[in-house]
Every structure is written in structure tokens, then in C-alpha cells.
Amino acid sequence: MKITVLALSFFALFTSASAQQAKNPIIFADVPDMSMIRVGDTYYMSSTTMHMNPGLPIMKSKDLVNWTLVNYAYNILADTDELNLSQHKNAYGHGSWASSLRFNDGKYYVSTFSANTGKTHIYTTRDIENGPWEAKEFTPMLHDHSLFFENGKTYILWGGGRLHMAELAPDFSGIKPGTERILIKDASSPSLPKDGKMGLPAEGSQLFKINGMYYLFNISWPQGGMRTVIVHRAARLEGPYEGKVVLQDQGVAQGGLIDMPNGTWYAYLFQDHGAVGRIPFLVPVSWEDGWPILGVQGKVPVGLSLPANKALLPGIVNSDDFNRKKGQPALPLVWQWNHNPDPDLWSVTERKGFLRLKTGKLTDDFLQAKNTLTQRTIGPTCSGSIAIDVSEMKDGDFAGLSLLQKNYGLLGVRMEGNNKSLVMVNATTGIPEEVAKISLKEQRIFLKASCDFTNRRDITEFFYSIDGRHWTAIGTPLKMSYTIPHFMGYRFGLFNYASKAAGGYVDIDYFHIATN
């Protein structure tokens, strides 16, 4: 790869955004912990979706700006109580974390790690868009690791503050004995504040070799400061490494480097952006004395000299009328289940043109309900709406439309005896509260949730309709908040669970998502 030195004056062009150029954020949706590669003129990116399944999403782009989901590395990570929402256990905030995506010798590799399994997981394929994937796993789990290939060997780097490196066995069965070493004793030191206190030590390692030099990207979070990008470089893989802070602006951090065929370089990073989640940014990179220089005079620009952003529909999120033609998958890639699904409790074929959600295990806790089907919310504003047939619900069932996070919001139909009610539940405070209840006679009802993430307002309002055209507000606004226990941006969710007896079901005619 050839490094192109670009003057900062050239990058001044990036600061004046126009309708013909891309704007940050590149994706106004929860796509954190990105790892990115370029193969020819095509870019691929992996990300984190933790307790959602299928998991470890793969996205594709031709211009670094507009991305489409093309695959997942696994259908389920493992069969455990936590991942199955069984025995009152869950995997919220866990599942699989930051991945490493690499291409080497005709094969694609994507790896991750999980506190639920205690393992490091590596998936391999020759066809990243279609699979199949070969799965390998080993203990221990290696935190925020990065895969690196050189001279026929595979290395892995990991850690927090103190960074480690080891060679992997050729069959990816684990670390090759005797190869583990400390690569950097304290990777956080370049960003240590004057008082010496570090809130989050250096982690999120991603390693690159460019023009014979090794560049190691990490994030840190100095106490009282913001998320910060640190880069260490060395002439040899084993070091010694020297480090420096390369970006500290708007909390945009954690990621790595990507080059374009024309020699232009970018850093792909993300920003914590309130309830919508952690959203991707691209930052222009120039080179000076062998160091990557990020941003425009140290700042993250709004405008980028790249093709304009298109809508996130249908590549990242999309409406679904649940009409399936022969040969089509049961669910498009935009959908993910909350935890491992039970395949016996849902169908898109039992009633043509509808998603059927059946009740199974009993619970009175929405967060423990099986088979909640989800999509990302998107900013700055969006709405999700459904039409639902509730004629086959049983006593104790509750079904409808949700905004999923720890402090969730629900609008749905509850069956009590032979009576149905439209109920709104607001868990803004972390404790679910029934704030509205209306008697319902109809067997078909329309539900909608409208989200506003503008300037981190983070408010959702719920509505219902009898005819699908005229909407009435119900309940109280949900003040959304990004919580660490769930560690994920809010998601639209379609749910149905039973508190008294299994066997009821609802049929959802459609889910429509729109930018308001």
C-alpha cells in the first residue's frame, strides 16, 4: 500500500459540506466497534450486536459511505441459559463484543469474544457474502483483540492498558504455547492526564502494517476527559512501540485505518450518541513523518469528499410486509432476534403475508420474553408501525410494538380473561409503569412509535389507530437513555409473551419504518 501525503489545506475542502458530498455521521444508527477491510474496490465491515441473533453482522460498501448488510458470521453464538433467556438468566450487555475482520490468502476471517462463553471465537470463509462459515473457538476470551497475519503466521493482540500478543495455532485451536508476550506495558500512557488518573485504559486494539511500519490503534478515556484515539508505531512487530494521541474531538474514537484505491486514507471511528447508540464516523487521514494525522486541524469534519449519504433504508433497516416468494429467506438480514430464538414459536408461512408470533415460556417480564424480533432505530428521527391481528390471544398474553433497551417502552394489547385492552408501559425510570389502558373491541389494531434523536433529545411517543390512517397519542413520552447494562442503542421490537398459559399467537401484517 502506498501512503499519500496530503496537505491540511487540501482537507479544508472537507469542512464545507454540500449536497454532493458525504456527511458525518456516516451511519446514524447503532453500529459500534467497527472493523473494516478493503478487497479490491469493495469494503467490508463487521460490528457488534452482542445479545442479538443472528450475530456478528457483515456490511458491504463501494464508497465507504453507503453500507448494506450482506451476512452474519453466526446464527447463534452458543446454546447457554444466558443466551437462551432461560432459568431467569440473560446476556444483556454481553453476547459477543468487538470483532476483528481480516482478509488473508483468499480467506476472510472475523473473530470475536464473549463473557457468556468465556471463549474467543473465529469464523472463516472464502465467500464473505454467502458463506458458509467455519467456526473455531478456544479459551480464554481475549478482550478487544485484533487478528494479524504475517509470513504464514497468525497473531492475536489483546488487552486493556497492558497489551499482549501471541501466535495462534495453525488450526485456530488456541494460543501456540510459549508465544505469548507483553507487547506494550502501558498503552494508556500517551493520554494520561496530569493527575495520572485514567478512566478507561487503552483497549480496542487494531493493528495495521503500512509501508513496512506497524501501527496499533487503541482508545482510552482519561478521567474527566473524552474518548481518545492513541496510536503506537514500531519498525518491528515485536516492538519497541512509541505512542502518541492522534485525535481527541467530540469523543469520536475506537477503530482503525482504511485506504481507498486512489491512495486516500480514512480512519473509521464511532461516537457515543445517546439513546440511538454508538454511530460511525469517517475521519480524513494525512501522513507526516510516518505518523497518521487524523482530522482537519485536529477536528472531526462534518463534510467529506466522498459520495453523498443515501438513506439507511433498505441497507441497514427496512420495512417488511412479510410476503415471501419461493426461495427467499424467512427473514431479511435487517432483522435480529433478542437472544437465541425458539424456531417453533414463529413463522412467516403459517399465514401467508404475516409474521406469526406464538407464546411459549411463561413470564411477566418483557425483558425475559422469548422471540422479540428487532431492528435498529435510526437518527435523527424515525418511526416504526405495525398492523397486528390479536384474535387468537389467550388470557395473560401481551403483544405489540416495543422500544427495546433496559428502560424500555411498550405499546400493545393485553388479554385479561375474555377482555382485551390497549396498554402503554413506560420504563423511563428503569421500573416499568402502566401509564395508559384503553378497552379494546377490535381484533386488528395499528400501533406506532415515533423516535426523535435530534440533538440527543431521545424521546419516543406512542400512537394507535383503528383504521391505519388516523393516529391517536397514548400514554406518556418515553425518555430514552443508553444504559450500560444493555450496552446497545434502542431497537424497535415486535413481541408476544404469555404470563398464564402458552399457545396463543398474534399475526403481524407488516412492520413499516420511516424517517419522519
Question: Topology of 8-304 in CATH?
Answer: Tachylectin-2; Chain A (2.115.10)
Q: For the segment 489-511, what is each residue's pLDDT rounded down to a tens digit? A: 999 999 999 999 999 999 999 99
Q: Are 204 and 150 in contact (CB under 8 A)?
A: no
- In whole angstroms, what is the distance from residue 334 CA to residue 129 CA? 15
Mean local confidence (pLDDT), 510-516: 95
Give me the mean pLDDT over the 318-343 stretch: 97
Tens digit of each residue's pLDDT (9 = 90 or more) over 131-162: 999 999 999 999 999 999 999 999 999 999 99
Q: Which residue is associated with the grid cell 422471540? A: 371
pLDDT in tens, 26-55: 999 999 999 999 999 999 999 999 999 999
- Give percent above pLDDT 90 in the chain: 93
* Bridging pattern class, strands 303-304 and 107-114: unpaired
Parts of the chain belonging to CATH 2.115.10.20: 8-304
Q: Residue 88 above 50 pLDDT?
A: yes
pLDDT (tens digit per residue) in 230-252 = 999 999 999 999 999 999 999 99
The pLDDT of residue 270 is above 50: yes
* β-pairing verdict for 491-498 and 373-376: antiparallel
Residue intervals of the chain classified under CATH 2.60.120.200 are: 336-514
The kind and range of the H/E element at 137 are: strand 134-138
Question: From CA 125, how far away is CA 148, in angstroms rounded?
Answer: 16
Check residue 193 and give its pLDDT. Answer: 80
Query: What CATH class has 336-514?
Result: mainly beta
